[in-house]
Amino acid sequence: MLDGLEGRPLPGAEALMVRPTPPTKGAADARGCFCDLWERSPALLERQDLPRGYCGRCSWCGKPGHTRHFPGAVGYTGAWCDWHYRVLSIVHPLGVPGVAVYAAVGVAAFFAWWALRH
């Protein structure tokens, strides 16, 4: 594939080895948010006027929150406070708790329909 290029550097090329930082077992890992940016790039979060311990502003109420993946099966990343993240995971039909809530409502509706027919 690269016959004749082994051992000869390309003009102007540099080799840079990047090692990923090992994940820490903290609140950011448990929450799945970007709070580890306070350790890696605090200036970015300070420019957004965020207090320490938060990595985003809630898109619903504007309170400090966390930037993380949408709580359902949707490819979206946003920022929510803990309260609105929980509400969204229950209300959205593709959220993990939301699936159970909507399934329970569906089963209850079926049994109500069945009981009224008989």
Could you tell me if residue 14 is inside a domain? Answer: no
C-beta of residue 67 within 8 angstroms of C-beta of residue 33: yes
Domain around 70? 27-117
C-beta of residue 66 within 8 angstroms of C-beta of residue 79: yes
Q: Which two tokens stand for residue 101?
A: 């809530």
Domain count, the chain: 1
Separation of alpha carbons 35 and 26, rounded Å? 10
Could you tell me if residue 3 is inside a domain? Answer: no
pTM of the model: 0.64
Could you tell me if residue 71 is inside a domain? Answer: yes
Could you tell me if residue 9 is inside a domain? Answer: no
Could you tell me if residue 2 is inside a domain? Answer: no
Sorting pLDDT into bands at 50, 70 and 90, what band is 16? very low
Could you tell me if residue 83 is inside a domain? Answer: yes
Could you tell me if residue 22 is inside a domain? Answer: no
Could you tell me if residue 5 is inside a domain? Answer: no
Separation of alpha carbons 91 and 53, rounded Å? 26
109, 112, 76: which is closest to 95 by C-alpha? 76
| 63-114 per-position pLDDT tens digit | 999 999 988 778 889 999 999 999 988 888 887 788 888 889 999 999 999 9
Q: Which two tokens stand for residue 50?
A: 């965020």
